[in-house]
Structure 1
C-alpha cells in the first residue's frame, strides 16, 4: 500500500474510531409553515435587534416561512421572492434559485436581502428565489458532531439534508414551482454551492460560487475552514467549534467527500459560474468610495483598512483556490464561466456584481430562459 493510501486509510479509521461520521439521516420531507417575519422578526444573534431582512416581508413581493427540519428537529426561517412576470403577476411552473448566505448570514444581518437589492433584481424575471435565513458558520453541510453548543452552533447541524431532501419538495409544491434548480453562494457558502452539486449530480441545473474555496481536505483549505467555523464560538478559542466537529479529521473519508476540488468530476453537466478577486484593493475598497456611500471619514478609514488587509488576505487565498479549481475542471474538460478579476477584496461589491453576471451568463441559460 502506498504512503498516500496508508494515510487516507488511517485517517478514515480514526474517523470511525472517534465516532466522527454523520449519523444516518432518513430522507423525510420538511413541513412548510406560514409565518409573518415582519410582525415576528428573528433577532441578530447576541442582541435584541431585529434582523433587517424581515422588514421587506410584505406577503406579496417577499414571503416568509418557517420550514420544520426533521433532521435538526427545529424550524428554519426561509425568505422567498416569488416568481413574477413583467406585470407583477405570479408565475407557476417556474424554477427556483436557492441563495445561500455567507458565514455570518442573517444571524449577523449580512444576508442576501439586507446587503443586496435581491427583491428588486429578481422581480419580473419569472424565477422563485429561496433564501434559508439560518446556518451561520455551518458551511451548509451535515456535521459529524451533534452536541456542539456555542453562540451560533447548537445541536444537530444537518444542512445538506435540509437543503437537498427536506426543503425542495415541499417548497416547490408551495410555490407551484417545477424541478429546475440553481444554487448560489458566496464566501463560506461559495464552497457549499460547489460541494452540494457533487453529492447529487443533476439535482441543480446550475451552480454559482462567488469567492468560495472548492477544496476542503488539504491542510491549507481545512484551516481556512477552521478560521471560519471558529467564529461560531463567540470566544475565539479554536476549541469550542472546530472543523473536526464538522467534517471529522482533516483528509479523512468524510472530509474528502466534502471536497469539491477532489470530486470535480461530479460537476460535469452542471452549468458553473466561478468568481474571485486577487486581494488587491479595488475602487470599492478605498476611503473615498466608502465616504461616497455615506460613511463618515473615520469609519471610512477604518473600513478601508479592514477591507484591504483582512479582506485582501482572504480573497488572495480564495484566488488560489479558484485557480486550482479551474485547472482541474479544464483538465477534465468540464466547462465553466469564470470571472477572475485583477483586483478586489472579499467584500459585497464584487458579489453584487457577480449575481447579475451569473444570472445572465449561467443561471438563466441553464433554465432554458
Structure 2
C-alpha cells in the first residue's frame, strides 16, 4: 500500500507541476493502477485522455483524443517495475500496419519482456497504418486524416507525462515505415527525444528510389495517395521530410540504425518462430522481404555516410544476412538498448 501511495504522489506532483508550469493540463482523478492519474487529463491544444483501461499492475491502455485528427486512438503503456519516482518514456512504434494488425512488437517479439526490468514507461501507439506517422497536407479518401507528427511530438507527450508521472526524458524507436518517422520526429523537435533507434527504416525519401519505396508502402500496400501526404513528387515537402537532407538536426541525439542485406538468414525458414505467413508462402514472402531489405541497406548506408560527413556520431549495425522480418528486429532492439539507455538515463 505504501508503494502505491508513493507512486501516486509522484504522479500527482507531476500533474500539478504540468498544470502550473505549462498551463495546459487539467486536473485528473486517480485510477486503480500504481502511479497512473488519467481521467479527464486535457492539454491546452484540446487533446485529452478520454479513458483509461487498466489491464494489470503493469499494463495500461490510454484512449487519447487527438485534437489535430479529431479522433481517439489507443495508446498501450508498459509501466515501470518501480514507480516510486518519475521515470523516462520510450515511444516504441510499430511498422506499416500501425499496430492495428497482427504485426506488432507485443505479438511478434519479446520486446516488452526485455524492457520490463528497465524501469521505463514503454508507450506504443495503435493507429496510423501506412501514414509514415507524418502530417499529411489533406485528408485521404482511404487513409483519412493523418497528423501523426503533431500527435507524437506535441499532443501526446504532455498527456503521457501528466498521466504517468514521467520525468520528461524521452527516446523513440521504430521499425520499417516507422524508422523514417522516428528520424523525422527527432529532426522536427531537436532535443525532445534524446535517443533514436531505427530498425530497417528508409532514411531517405526525396530521391527517385526513396520516393518509390515510400509510394509502395502508402499506395500499393495501404491504398492511399502520397499526393495527399507530401504533394506531388516535386513538392518541397518530400525534401523537408527527408532524414538525410535534414540530418544536421540530429546532432546531439544518440542514434542507432540497423539493417540486414536481403540475404535469407536464420529467421527466414518456413514455419519458423517469427514467420507470420503459412509455410508454403514463406519463399515468396522472404523474396519480397529480401528486396525491401536490400533497399533499406542502401538507404541506411547513405545515412551513415551523411552523418560521417557532418561529424555526427552514431551506431550502425549491418547484419550479414536478414530480410525484412521480425526476428531480426527483436535482435536489433536488444542491440540498440545501450544507445537508447544512454539518452533515457544520462543527464543531458
Give the TM-score normalised by the residue count of structure 1.
Answer: 0.78
- Distance in structure 2 (CA, Å) of the matches to 1:357 and 1:295: 21
Counterpart check, 1:299 vs 2:278: yes
Taking a change above 3 Å as real, the CA distance of residues 201 and 33 of structure 1, as seen in their structure-2 partners, is same
Question: Per-residue displacement from partner, 1:61-96 (whole Å, max 9, x unpaired)?
Answer: 2110110100000101110001223xxxx2431110
Structure 2 residue corresponding to 1:281, chosen from 257, 264, 268: 264
Counterpart check, 1:243 vs 2:232: no
Structure 1 residue corresponding to 2:187, chosen from 198, 204, 209: 198
- Contact 2:108–2:274 (8 Å) recurs in 1: no
The DSSP-based 3-state class of the residue aligned with 1:205 is strand
Structure 2 residue corresponding to 1:139, chosen from 132, 137, 162: 132
1:1-369 to 2 correspondence within 5 Å? Answer: 28=45, 30-36=47-53, 58-85=55-82, 90-146=83-139, 148-150=140-142, 153-154=143-144, 156-231=145-220, 233=222, 241-287=224-270, 290-291=271-272, 293=273, 299-303=278-282, 305-359=283-337, 361-368=338-345
Question: Per-residue displacement from partner, 1:307-365 (whole Å, max 9, x unpaired)?
Answer: 43100000000000000000000011101111111110000011001111111x20112
The DSSP-based 3-state class of the residue aligned with 1:285 is coil
Deviating above 6 A after TM superposition, structure 1's stretches of 4 or more consecutive aligned residues are none
Whose strand proportion is higher, 1 or 2?
2
Taking a change above 3 Å as real, the CA distance of residues 318 and 92 of structure 1, as seen in their structure-2 partners, is same
- Contact 2:49–2:63 (8 Å) recurs in 1: yes
Taking a change above 3 Å as real, the CA distance of residues 127 and 233 of structure 1, as seen in their structure-2 partners, is closer
Taking a change above 3 Å as real, the CA distance of residues 254 and 313 of structure 1, as seen in their structure-2 partners, is same
Shift of 1:122: 1.6
Give the TM-score normalised by the residue count of structure 2.
Answer: 0.83
The DSSP-based 3-state class of the residue aligned with 2:320 is coil
For structure 2, the residue ranges without an aligned partner over 5 or more in a row are 1-42
Question: Per-residue displacement from partner, 1:159-188 (whole Å, max 9, x unpaired)?
Answer: 001001100001111000011100100000
- Distance in structure 1 (CA, Å) of the matches to 2:247 and 2:85: 34
The DSSP-based 3-state class of the residue aligned with 2:100 is helix
Question: Per-residue displacement from partner, 1:198-227 (whole Å, max 9, x unpaired)?
Answer: 111111100010000111111111111111
Question: Per-residue displacement from partner, 1:203-261 (whole Å, max 9, x unpaired)?
Answer: 11000100001111111111111110114655xxxxxx222211112242211111101
Shift of 1:115: 1.6
Question: Per-residue displacement from partner, 1:91-112 (whole Å, max 9, x unpaired)?
Answer: 4311100011100132222122
Taking a change above 3 Å as real, the CA distance of residues 219 and 91 of structure 1, as seen in their structure-2 partners, is farther
- Distance in structure 2 (CA, Å) of the matches to 1:215 and 1:271: 19
- Distance in structure 2 (CA, Å) of the matches to 1:251 and 1:202: 30
Aligned residue pair count? 304
For structure 1, the residue ranges without an aligned partner over 5 or more in a row are 1-25, 37-56, 235-240
